[in-house]
Structure 1
Amino acid sequence: MKKNIVSKVAIVTGASKGLGAETCIKLAKEKYKVAIIYKSSVNEAKNILLQCEKFSSALLIKADVSKKKSCEKIVNIVRKKLGEINILINNAGKTKFVKFTNLDGLNENDFLDIYRTNVISAFLMSRACHKSMLKTLHPKIINISSVASLGLGSSIAYACSKGALNTLSLSLARTMSPKITVNTISPGYIKTSWHGSKKQVVKKAKIYEKQVMLKRSAAPEEVADIVMWYVKNPHLITGENIFVDGGLHLSS
């Protein structure tokens, strides 16, 4: 029987900023070869590449992961330049900030656009990586969801998309067993530019912190630590969802 190879190659989507960027750096520090996937923030992505290259090999790929051909192209490039894929972190995400009470603030195209990035991309990347991952030892897929899946967050469309992503994770965990584990991380408020200017980030964090059990929000590196725990440790955990939200899910 052919043995699975020990491979330290990771792909991170939505990797130019925030949680994705911090995860790339932490992976590189653990000597993973990292494929940094971004769509538009080229300067930020180049900066993350430079930081990763201090510790390990890294690769920058501009791609729209909501498209099948783009996902397949990513996998082909990564396999050729870095090796067989062992870790996939589906972090690409987008939203439209619309209050839940504003039912006219969203249209069908908003839903479709958000679903393509938040749900379909995770499926397409997982499928594209599947065969390569099967060749490696203890391969893992980690999907970045949100506490918004409980009916919270920046808009109804975003909340629905994260609920769908959680269901996708469960489905993939069943489908890809016993070789590949698939798990989910659901952060709460993370202090990043996702939420606007520095002033807006601080203001929104204060509002959030009043609502949660632990009375604090997260820095990107704190959530990235949970990602790395999944990467390094649990070969016997699959289909699980960890809330990293300061306890907001307890009051939902």
Structure 2
Amino acid sequence: MDINGTVAVITGGGTGIGAAVAESLARKGAEAVVVNYSRSAADAQATVARLADLGCKAEAMAADVADDAAVRRMAERVRDRYGRVDVLVCNAGTTKWVPFPDLEGLTDDVWRHVMGVNLMGPFYCARAFAPDLRAARGAIVNVSSIAGILATGSSMAYGVSKAALIQLTRDLAVALGPEVRVNAVAPGIVATRWHIDRVGEHVFSEMAAREEAKAPLRRTAQPEHIAQMVTALLESDLVTGEVLVGDGGRHLGY
């Protein structure tokens, strides 16, 4: 896929990885980028302003991806506004911090919330935008996590949701082929506000240092690194149903 001239929708596009992906696509000549958000309106508008400075049409659209009706309304609005969708990046995510041994802490509400955003959200978005993506012979990239591959992460519910998203990626690759390619990225620790704000800068620095020491590349991912991976998958015309891990090689060790 040639990114130049495309129309892209990025869920959770106002901050972190989503914002970095949006800027990467704008720099590669995307005609328009829709920045979806649910709560971070100011951040989404700030991202839109940066995209406009890069010469890209940009718009912030509010929608809770866990709400199928809201996603369908967003898809209709994008369709009316831009007439096509070439790229869908399902980046919106959430978690609840529950230690693995605390099984009682994994309440039904925690499971419903985390699975609703992290799994059902990408499914609802893929379903709502499928007609447009098929017509454009477009591509989807889902943002999963290393927690979907290894037994790690903020909670068991989070890891299960990201593992399920990896399987959804494979299933959608079959369901939407041959017109639409569907892939996923699985980042490790990424230096984003989403992560740092939850544990604090000091704790994050210590945690990142420990992981760097075990990773062959001795680096902590920045949002721009994950954006590179997303863009690479979008541009890889013969790749579908794959998961690209981005953790500096940390997962290679025991």
Quickly name the TM-score band, shorter chain normalised. Answer: over 0.9
Aligned counterpart for 1:22 among listed residues 20, 23, 32: 20
Give the length in aligned residue pairs: 245
Q: Deviations over 1:210-244 (max 9, x none)?
A: 3333222100001101111122x211111111100
Q: Distance in 2 between matches of 1:28 and 1:34?
A: 7
Asked if structure 1 preserves the Cα contact closer than 8 Å seen for 2:134 and 2:176, the reply is no
2:167 aligns with 167
Q: Which residue in the other structure is 1:241 paired with?
A: 243
CA distance in 1, matches of 2:253, 2:156: 18
- Give runs of aligned pairs for residues 50-199 of structure 1, distance below 5 A: 50-54=49-53, 55-136=55-136, 138-149=137-148, 150-195=150-195, 196=197, 197-199=200-202
| Aligned positions of 1:210-221 closer than 5 A | 210-221=213-224
Per the alignment, in what secondary structure is the counterpart of residue 126 of structure 1?
A: helix
For residues 189 and 206 of structure 1, what CA distance do their matches in structure 2 show?
11
Q: What is the SS of the residue equivalent to 1:135?
A: helix
Gaps of 5+ in 1: 1-5
1:170 deviates by: 0.6
1:193–1:201 CA contact under 8 A, matched in 2: no
SS of 2:135's partner is: coil
Q: Distance in 1 between matches of 2:104 and 2:248?
A: 31
Measured after TM superposition, the shift of residue 14 of structure 1 is 0.8
Structure-2 change in CA distance of 1:215 and 1:230 (3 Å): same
Structure-2 separation of matches of 1:101 and 1:213? 30
Looking at structure 1, the residues matched to 11 and 43 of structure 2 have their Cα atoms a distance apart, in angstroms, of 14
Q: Distance in 2 between matches of 1:122 and 1:76?
A: 16
Q: What's the CA shift string for 1:177-225, capped at 9, x where partnerless?
A: 1110000100000001112243343233123223333222100001101
| Corresponding residue SS for 1:134 | helix
The 1-side partners of 2:8 and 2:135 are apart by 14
Instruction: For 1:145, give the aligned amino acid.
Output: S
One-letter amino acid of the counterpart of residue 82, structure 2: L
* TM-score normalised per structure 1: 0.93
Paired with 2:218 and 2:28, the residues of 1 have a C-alpha distance of: 31
Percent of pairs with identical residues: 32
TM-score normalised over the length of structure 2: 0.92
Aligned equivalents of 1:204 and 1:41: distance in 2? Answer: 26
- The answer to whether residue 224 in structure 2 is matched with residue 226 in structure 1 is no
Partner of 2:212: 209
